[in-house]
Amino acid sequence: MSACRLRITKGSDGSVILSDTNTTVVDIGLRDGSTIAVKDLGPQIDWRTVFVIEYLGPIIIHLLIYFLRPQIYSLPPFSLTEIPEASELQELSLKMIVTHFIKRELETLFIHRFSLATMPFFNLFKNSGHYWLLSGVLIAYVTYSPTSPTQTNFVGSPLSYLGIVLFIFGEAANFYTHLVLRDLRRAGSTERGIPTGFGFDWVTCPNYLFETIAWLGILAVNRSWSTAVFIIVAVAQMASWAQKKERRYRKEFPDKYKKKRYSMLPGII
């Protein structure tokens, strides 16, 4: 059985003991008479593979729905006999969303360093559902529809330009935060550090803040209720992760970490 299938926790407080060859029994606080619990987590899948699959879904789905518009929207509930050409905003929406997920794929392959090697295989379906269904099928089907607001609007509007600026800033700043987080951990290790600098002095997880800004830019361009729904769900999930990370920083670095009032969105969360 692979060691990745096993989760080991301390019997005293239930905290997880990470698999790290540099950590000794004394380091994690185990002594004579201490107890541990070992649980088989079932079949595992590599985290990097998980992210590649998650982000590949929306790329394929958006491209398919965009280029198969005549076939898709001639079916119920639209049942249209004439499908107009995709508008400038629909084309721009496609480019922005596909660019976003290609960036994520490249970061997964070349930037991210994971503290855990694997996750339970069956969680892949739940994780992928969020991206494939919400940011994939839902956003694409509504955005590229002949009845979408993007069908009759043009790129040359203040709202569209604002969206492009927000998107470029959000993606660039998000990429920078991922570089900072990567440099906190040596390749192959599970060590943790305290990130500082641009964004990290404002909130615990500026990578989530900038992710939100990028998606608000997409919303300003495609003006779709489906994008708004995805943003609400994503922000709620990221806020939960950010609050957990803030608590972890305070616990792991009680003397070094400067507590943040807001974990994700300044003045809000």
If you average pLDDT over residues 31-48, what whole number do you get? Answer: 73
* φ, ψ at 128 (rounded to 5°): -70, -30
pLDDT at position 208: 98
Question: Per residue in 223-264, pLDDT tens?
Answer: 999 999 999 999 999 999 999 999 999 999 999 999 999 999
Residue 264 covered by a domain: no
Number of domains in the chain: 2
Residue 268 maps to a domain: no
* Mean pLDDT, rounded, for 29-58: 80
Residues 49 and 16 in one domain: no
Asked whether residue 261 is assigned to any structural domain, the reply reads no
Q: Is 99 within 8 Å of 22 (Cβ atoms)?
A: no
pLDDT value at residue 155:
81
120 — pLDDT class (breaks 50, 70, 90): confident
pLDDT of residue 6: 58
Residue 266 lies in a domain: no
Per the DSSP assignment, residues forming a β-bridge with 16 are 9
What is the pLDDT confidence band of residue 21, given thresholds at 50, 70 and 90?
A: low
Q: Mean of the pLDDT values across residues 149-156?
A: 84
Mean per-residue pLDDT for 56-80? 95
Query: With contact defined as beta carbons under 8 Å apart, do 151 and 87 qualify?
Result: yes
Domain span holding position 1: 1-42
- Inter-CA distances, 38 with 9, 41, 59, 255, Å: 7, 9, 39, 31
> Which of 36-40, 55-59, 87-91 has the lowest average pLDDT?
36-40
Lowest-confidence pick of 31-35, 150-154, 165-169: 31-35
Note whether residue 245 is domain-resident.
yes
Q: Does any domain span residue 121?
A: yes
User: 110 and 51 in contact (C-beta within 8 Å)?
Assistant: no
Buried b (16+ CB within 10 A) or exposed e, 92-124: bbbebbbbbbebbeebbeeeebeeeebbeeeee
> Are both 10 and 122 inside the same structural domain?
no
Quick one: what percent of the chain has pLDDT higher than 70?
84
Q: For 202, what's the count of Cα atoms within 13 Å in the CB-facing half-sphere?
A: 15
pLDDT in tens, 78-118: 888 889 999 999 999 999 999 999 999 999 999 998 877 78
CA neighbor of 96 nearest in space, from 156, 177, 199, 169: 169
Please tell me whether the peptide bond between 206 and the residue prior to it is cis, using omega within 30 degrees of 0: no
Q: Which residues of 189-200 are buried (b: 16+ CB within 10 A; e: fewer)?
A: ebeeeebeeebb
Note whether 170 and 211 are within 8 A (CB): yes
For residue 89, give the nearest of 170, 162, 152, 166 by alpha carbon. Answer: 152
Average pLDDT, whole number, for the chain? 89
Asked if residue 110 and residue 6 are part of one domain, the reply reads no
- State whether 72 and 3 are in the same domain: no
CA-closest candidate to residue 207, choices 183, 239, 185: 239
Please give the DSSP secondary-structure letter assigned to residue 16: B
- What does the CA dihedral 143, 55, 108, 117 come to, rounded to 10 degrees? 150
From residue 227, alpha-carbon distances to 43, 51, 170 in Å are 34, 21, 16
Torsion of CA 240, 242, 248, 254, to 10 degrees: -130
- The answer on 76 and 7 residing in a single domain is no
- Rounded to whole angstroms, the Cα distance separating 215 from 171 reads 9
Check whether residue 110 and residue 152 sit in a common domain.
yes
Is residue 263 domain-resident? no
Does the structure show a pLDDT above 90 at 16?
A: no
With CA atoms as reference, report the closest residue to 212 among 181, 257, 242, 248: 242
